[in-house]
Amino acid sequence: MMTSFLFRALDAKAGVFVAILLAVIVAVPALNLLTPPDSPFHVPTYAVTLMGKYLTYALLALSVDLVWGFCGILSLGHGAFFALGGYAMGMYLMRQIGTRGVYGDPILPDFMVFLNWNELPWYWYGFDMAWFAFLLVLLVPGALAFIFGWFAFRSRVTGVYLSIITQALTYALLLAFFRNDMGFGGNNGLTDFKDILGFDVQANTTRAGLFAASGLALMICFLICRAITRSKLGKVLVAVRDAESRTRFLGYRVENYKLFVWVISAMMAGIAGSLYVPQVGIINPGEFAPANSIEAVIWVAVGGRGTLVGAVIGAVLVNFAKTWFTAALPDVWLFALGALFVIVTLFLPKGIVGTISQGWTAIRQRKLSAAYADGSDEPPNLPPNSPAAPANVTRAAPSSGAEPQPAE
């Protein structure tokens, strides 16, 4: 069963993507560690870390795409799950500092000593153990997503209302984590990490290892998403996206499907956050800012919603552009990002990958039709509609397609 599950995930297109990803995972650390610094092929460590960061963003984009592209849930609060995963990892890393902090307290992190706390709050227990922290990286975002989704999907909060309350969720968490008495370092967050699993976080080898781990996590999550969306479950998800009420009338428990994919997606975002933190070396409440979550959505939109590869490509492209712009033309970056939002929604509703694959299918179909007209016995139908073509974007709603809808 497991093999068929994975087999379903790996068709030719996904295979190409996984192969490229694997090559990157092997090549980048190798070029960093094995080539001498003056070699033209040498990849400097900062670039490894930067690319590692892009990969965690790509994983976040993948998780957003899973719920938005395939289930129609536009989450403006996925940054919350990302940051929660990051905080779980940050707490583990804080406990690893031990007596090497500024105050040299063997148990309490520096900021607690600074705040005159005498003992560790209960929710910090266990974070000195790696397995516990890594488990919570999954469980905390998962549990929050479960509780939130349980209520929201059961009471049929949909569309923009859901988007707005996910935004409220991450905003509330932002405010909460800014408080010093929450015990998460307040404004400054958690930083000054030393070790991860016994390796120095600053060392080149650890950086390369973290890069490889981010790449592997991205690959595994990609395969899981691929398997989910290509299964029967995935078809139901697409049905929910395109006609929720109709799916419900057909007898599917829509809320359970939504909840399942929502929790999976939140856990993936948590993993992304946990890999992000050791690479950038800090986690602070700013990661909860609603703007971050919205930016993650635009990565998906640029790459192409409903195409898993597109989410990854979009995240990497936009963030590469961001790095370049903020260094070269810092004033222009927000103009560029804003224009990107507008242009993509107006002219590229399917994103880069979606548009390319649409063009490719159109060409192929024309060829097939021509062949059919010449007497071939193959009907000119598309292969069964793959989830890669988001239906509700192209769907010409007969009655209310291009008109404003009162929000009721």
Partner 1 sequence: MSFLKSFLMFLCLMAGLVGTGAAQSDLESLRPLVNALAEGKYKETQKQIGDLAATGNPAVAPALEALGAGELFFRKSDKQVFIAKKAGKGYALSDPLTLEDAGETGRRAVTKIKVNNNLRRVIRSALGSLTLLAPDPKVRMAAAEAVFKAKDPEAIESLEAAIAKEIDDDVRLVMEQARAAAVLNSDGSDGDKLEAIETLASMGNREALSLLIGLRDSSEGEVQQAATRAVNTINKSLALWDNAQNIWYGISLGSVLLLAAIGLAITFGVMGVINMAHGEMVMIGAYVTFVVQELIRSSAPGLFEYSLFIALPLAFLVSGAIGVGIERGVIRWLYGRPLETLLATWGISLILQQAVRSIFGPTNREVGNPDWMSGAFELGQLTITYNRMWIVVFAILVFAGLMLVLKKTSFGLFTRAVTQNRRMAASMGIRTPWIDAMTFGLGSGIAGIAGVALSQIDNVSPNLGQGYIIDSFMVVVFGGVGNLWGTLVGAMTLGVVNKFLEPYAGAVLGKILVLVFIILFIQKRPRGLFALKGRAVEA
**Footprint on this chain of partner 1 (rule: CB under 8 A):** 74, 148, 151-152, 154-161, 163-165, 167-169, 171-172, 175-176, 178-179, 243-246, 290-291, 294, 297-298, 301, 331, 334-335, 337-342, 344-346, 349, 393, 397, 399-408
Rank residues 27 and 168 by Cβ distance to partner 1 and give the closer one.
168
Cα(279)–Cα(99) distance, integer angstroms: 22
Hey, how many other C-beta atoms are within 10 angstroms of the C-beta on 381? 10
Rank residues 103 and 151 by Cβ distance to partner 1 and give the closer one.
151
Rank residues 19 and 176 by Cβ distance to partner 1 and give the closer one.
176
Cα(103)–Cα(94) distance, integer angstroms: 13
Burial of 128 (0-12, 13-18, 19+ CB in 10 A): middle
Rank residues 384 and 404 by Cβ distance to partner 1 and give the closer one.
404
Contact in structure between 269 and 60 (CB atoms under 8 Å)? yes
**Minimum distance from CB of 336 to partner 1 (Å)?**
9
The two tokens of residue 192 are 């000054």
Cα(31)–Cα(256) distance, integer angstroms: 46
**Minimum distance from CB of 385 to partner 1 (Å)?**
18
**Minimum distance from CB of 179 to partner 1 (Å)?**
6
Among 40, 64, 3, 70, smallest CA distance to 269 is for 64
**Minimum distance from CB of 74 to partner 1 (Å)?**
5
Hey, how many other C-beta atoms are within 10 angstroms of the C-beta on 16? 11
Instruction: Report residue 398 CA to chain centroid gap.
Output: 34
The two tokens of residue 45 are 């460590």
Distances from the Cα of 61 to the Cα of 67, 122, 172, angstroms: 10, 33, 22
Burial of 271 (0-12, 13-18, 19+ CB in 10 A): buried
Residue recorded with tokens 């990286």: 137
Rank residues 66 and 93 by Cβ distance to partner 1 and give the closer one.
66
**Minimum distance from CB of 314 to partner 1 (Å)?**
13
**Minimum distance from CB of 221 to partner 1 (Å)?**
23
Rank residues 91 and 152 by Cβ distance to partner 1 and give the closer one.
152
**Phi, psi values for residue 305, rounded to 5°:** -70, 150
Alpha-carbon dihedral sign for residues 318, 221, 308, 165: negative
Hey, how many other C-beta atoms are within 10 angstroms of the C-beta on 242? 14
Residue recorded with tokens 């990609």: 222
Rank residues 378 and 408 by Cβ distance to partner 1 and give the closer one.
408
Rank residues 331 and 374 by Cβ distance to partner 1 and give the closer one.
331
Rank residues 116 and 155 by Cβ distance to partner 1 and give the closer one.
155
**Minimum distance from CB of 408 to partner 1 (Å)?**
5
**Minimum distance from CB of 75 to partner 1 (Å)?**
11
**Minimum distance from CB of 79 to partner 1 (Å)?**
14
Rank residues 57 and 211 by Cβ distance to partner 1 and give the closer one.
57
**Minimum distance from CB of 337 to partner 1 (Å)?**
6
Among 137, 169, 135, smallest CA distance to 151 is for 169
Cα(193)–Cα(315) distance, integer angstroms: 26
CA count, 13 A, side-chain hemisphere, 265: 31
